[in-house]
Amino acid sequence: MAKVVGVGLLGLGTVGSGVVEIIQRHQEELQHKVGCAVEVKRVLVRDLEKIRSVQIEEGILTENVEDVLSDPNIDVIVEVMGGIEDTKKVLIDALNQKKHVVTANKDLMALYGSELLQTAAANQCDLFYEASVAGGIPILKGLSDGLSADRITKMMGIVNGTTNYILTKMSQEGSSYHDVLEQAQKLGFAESDPTADVEGLDAARKMAILATLGFSAQVKLNDVSVTGITNVSDADLYYGKQLGYTMKLIGLAQRDENRIEVSVQPTLLPNEHPLSAVNNEFNAVYVYGEAVGETMFYGPGAGSLPTATAAMSDLVQVIRNMRLGVNGKQLQGPLHDCVLKGEKEIESQYFIRLKALDRTGTFSTITSLFAEHEVSFEKLLQLPLEKEEAAEVIIVTHQTNKENYERLLNRLAELSVVQSLESSYRVEGGH
């Protein structure tokens, strides 16, 4: 084992700067844990002249990726620059040159994780990606190591800090979606183009990674059903509160008899559910195992040092594997085929908000339709609307399957007594 393990860093933005800071400040602890020094040998950047938040020795920065990949003193590549197609080529090149890889790139792993892992195995290299999901929360190691002997049946969580911040402020302060989004952008919690966050795509990528690992099946991004938060209104949050619920953008992965459902959508949770108390930019993942029961992983879902800490934990694991001579030995292939549930197999409760004519017989017509579809009410709220001959009707159903529920919604929209279907959300976490 070498006295020094050399690291090549691809990217020196928020997370890359955090990696350098941890290596510099925690060198004594790192040497104690891995038995050797850890040094950053080369760093790929876009602009050599840019002012950095961390001190880097002269000659380490480069704008040429080949300076990093071809350096014989570099053992491990840490990729925190983002990107997909070009970055994939760079990492495959690194693995083919027998360099281990640590990445924080959720987009890349969601789309090409299987191919990259196979390339790593063929070269007897490690490829770890803890930092790609939920920032500083060790959820992937929790699944692959801590819960490795259990059979995971369900994972449900908040895996996007931007949307959680927005929904928290809307719910607690009564602010509008657009006002909170603007505030989140000013604070750096949301990108100037927030589409990937607010439309649920960022969370979907993370859920594809979690489901693949947790269920030992190759779950692709296209397998994830996705709905974002852009249509969530303050009225939805208000009436949800009246019925004892909190709105969160929930990533859900559930397995029943090896049939899988993976989704991301605004979801109402009972106020007493642990995920309801996860606010602002924090993330949390609730994991159900047949043996362990229920566990929850909670912490900062983004940020320089939290995400860098996750990448560094992977780096430590790579170096320990180097000392043991077991790099590239972890299982790579899926154990099960990914068989998605049909809509008849997806069971849930639902929240419906509609406007109906405020006259005799309206409610009887609505309840008859629900009875026809064998969907019963768990909770009901009916409020007359001022200056309108209409009432706001809010219903929480008992459990039903998705196919039946969608048919019911279509029939509701056709009723002459229903003026409009305002919103509909899944309800999770009940008994």
Q: Which structural domains are found in the chain, ordered by start? A: 4-135+304-324 (3.40.50.720), 139-300 (3.30.360.10), 343-427 (3.30.70.260)
Task: Give the tens place of pLDDT for each residue, 386-413.
Answer: 777 899 999 999 999 999 999 999 999 9
- Hey, is 212 helix, strand or coil? helix
pLDDT, position 1: 60
Instruction: Please count the CA atoms within 13 angstroms of the CA of 22 that sit on its side-chain side.
Output: 20
Task: Give the tens place of pLDDT for each residue, 328-364.
Answer: 987 667 778 899 999 999 999 999 999 999 888 898 9
Residue 58 clears pLDDT 90, i.e. is over it: no
Residue 212 clears pLDDT 70, i.e. is over it: yes
pLDDT, position 431: 56
Kindly state the average pLDDT of the residues 179-202. Answer: 90
Residue 158 clears pLDDT 90, i.e. is over it: yes
Kindly state the average pLDDT of the residues 295-308. Answer: 89
* pLDDT, averaged across the chain: 93
Task: Give the tens place of pLDDT for each residue, 244-278.
Answer: 999 999 999 999 988 999 999 999 999 999 999 99
Q: Nearest Cα to 7, choosing from 50, 55, 39, 51?
A: 39
Q: For the chain, what percent of residues have pLDDT higher than 70?
A: 99
Q: Nearest Cα to 341, choosing from 251, 222, 260?
A: 260
Q: What is the pTM of this model?
A: 0.93
Catalytic residue among 99, 106, 169, 206: 206
- Hey, is 260 helix, strand or coil? strand
Kindly state the average pLDDT of the residues 35-62. Answer: 92
Q: What are phi and psi of 165, to 5 degrees?
A: -60, -45
Kindly state the average pLDDT of the residues 162-187. Answer: 91
94-114: b or e for each residue (b if 16 or more CB lie within 10 Å)?
Answer: bbeeebbbbbbbbbbbbbbbe
- How far is residue 246's CA from residue 296's CA, in Å, rounded to a whole number? 18
222 pLDDT band (50/70/90 cuts)? very high
Catalytic (active site) residue 41: no
- How far is residue 266's CA from residue 136's CA, in Å, rounded to a whole number? 24
